[in-house]
Chain A
Amino acid sequence: MIAVRDLRKTFITPAAEVQALAGVDLDIREGDIFGIVGFSGSGKSTLLRCLNLLERPDSGTVTLAGKEVLTLDRKQLGLLRQKVGMIFQHFHLFDSRTVRANIGYPLEIAGTDRVTLQRRVAELAELVGIADKLEAYPGQLSGGQKQRVAIARALANEPRVLLSDEATSALDPETTRSILQLLKDINGKMGLTIALVTHELDVVRAVCNRVAVLESGRVVETGEVGTVFGNPRSAAARKLVEISRGFREGTLFTDGGGI
């Protein structure tokens, strides 16, 4: 479903040149819930944002649903993006629109007729469990509710791929669990492929079937979740596992060992 080959991206800031991606190869299969994990600055968000070209890589290729995304022109890219949903850490709903109009937005810009649009919005609101809030504005919702609306909005055009950029990182553990369950349900019901960026190992354990561990812009380990974290080979994966275990056992970290 998604194939990434030798992807490179360097950010040039006045202060320094930062190599965010240093040759990434990645394969995400149809129906996967694919976790992309790593510590801050490992390049995981940049990688995800290169998939729908919110960030333009310097070199390499990204093939998404059979399309070579870097060769698309502006219009074609727009059409592709309509079929690739994305959710964010801070939701990014439109404050000027009610929940109904937020969910309907992608359909509006895709030129869907009114009747279909309203029917689809109702279905989606039902699916994500927000049907009683259709006339509310985002300003009236809790974080979890906002993320549900964002998920419904991302799914409006029946995408085959959903990109999730730290979508649960701003939510409390309980809400995180319910949002992850929702993603899992959607994956099961619709066969949606999900690429999920997170720094929390527990999120990956809860929903992902496969995972890639990133460190300094490279994939250092990839495979089934159980295999990778049952028997981590790379230093980064080992560290992630240790930290996650440490928190569970209530280990006191010293000398910045937990960071």
Chain B
Amino acid sequence: MTPVPLLLLQGLQDTVYMTVLAAGIGLLIGLPLGAILTITSNNHTLESPRINRGLGIAVNMGRSFPSLILIILLLPLSRLLVGTTLGPTAALVPLSVEMAPFIARVTENAFKEVEKGKIEAALAMGTGPWAMVIKVLIPEALPSLVRGTTLIVISTLGLTAIAGCIGAGGLGSLAIRYGYQRFRTDIMIATVALLILLVTGIQLAGNLIARRIGRRRHVYE
């Protein structure tokens, strides 16, 4: 049997790998969706109630699935893209798809926090949709986007533990297979402690970066 420290190290490595990549891929899908949700809303540069409502419904549907069910439903897609349904890499597919709608809402919220007047000023200067997102929304919303990303990364971390139930690996899987099924309370405590450390670290880093950006701009909240 693998010694406990090695088990934990491997679990930690898998968890970090899944969290970072799934949150990253999720952001690549979710952030553009959040941007589209924002600029197609009323009085924005690409105002389109139809696209806005359609996408809104799709995002809500994506968020309505119980996580575990969605992960199971997406396993065939993992097999198609990665060739297997086991291990951390296979888990990336359902994890990022699962996170994307949530990320779309989080980024939409961050973009909607940008003062209406700034959007109007940008519109009055003839800003098109692309420049609106790249040059106005993302830079102006950056501190809230960073705080949102902190939330996203921590939620992804939580989701990897659920994916761990069905063969994804990582700390969640350790907690289930050893801590719960084999009554190894020591491993249970160790995995939970590691997860607490991870969450605390991510939150601290996020707060620090957001505050730094604000301070650089002389905007204090």
Contacts and interface: CB of A to CB of B under 8 A. Distances in A.
Nearest to A153: B125
B124 A81 contact: yes
Interface stretch (A85-93, A223-231, A241-249): A85-93
B126 A79 contact: yes
A75 B46 CA distance: 11
A75 B124 CA distance: 13
Nearest to B218: A139
B217 A95 contact: yes
Between A86, A90, A95, A140, the greatest number of chain B beta carbons within 10 A of the residue's beta carbon is seen for A95
Of listed B125, B126, B136, B218, residue having the most chain A CB within 10 A:
B125
What DSSP secondary structure best describes chain B's contact surface?
helix
Interface stretch (A18-26, A103-111, A204-212): A103-111
Nearest to B121: A92
Q: How large is the interface on B (under 10, 10 to 19, 20 to 34, 35 or more residues)?
A: 20 to 34
A39 interface: no
Contacts of B186: none
A94 B136 contact: yes
A244 B74 CA distance: 71
Contacts, number: 71
A92 B120 contact: yes
Nearest to A78: B126
Nearest to B136: A94
B130 to A, nearest CB: 9
A94 B218 contact: no
A161 to B, nearest CB: 11
Interface string B123-148: 11111100100011001101000000
A54 B126 contact: no
Nearest to B46: A74
Contacts of B127: 78, 109
A222 interface: no
Contacts of B216: 137
Contact of A86 (B115, B124, B131): B124
B66 interface: no
A74 B128 CA distance: 9
A139 B219 contact: yes
B136 to A, nearest CB: 7
B120 A94 contact: no
B217 A52 contact: no
B118 to A, nearest CB: 5
A139 B124 contact: no
A82 interface: yes
A108 B132 CA distance: 12
B117 interface: yes
A80 B124 CA distance: 9
Interface string A97-139: 1000000011011100000000000000000000000000111
A13 interface: no
A109 B125 contact: yes
B128 A54 contact: no
Nearest to B140: A96
B131 A137 contact: no
Among A138, A139, A154, which residue has the most Cβ atoms of chain B within 10 A?
A139
B140 A94 contact: yes
A157 B128 CA distance: 16
B7 to A, nearest CB: 45
Nearest to B131: A109
Interface string B16-49: 0000000000000000000000000000000000
Given A105-B135, A137-B217, A92 B118 contact: yes
A86 B127 CA distance: 13
Given A105-B135, A109-B135, A88 B126 contact: no
Given A88-B121, A108-B131, A109-B135, 19 more contacts: A81-B126, A86-B125, A88-B117, A92-B115, A92-B120, A94-B118, A94-B136, A95-B140, A96-B140, A106-B126, A109-B126, A109-B128, A109-B131, A137-B216, A137-B219, A139-B219, A140-B218, A153-B125, A154-B125
13 contacts: A82-B126, A88-B117, A88-B120, A90-B117, A92-B115, A95-B140, A95-B219, A96-B142, A96-B217, A109-B125, A139-B217, A154-B125, A163-B124
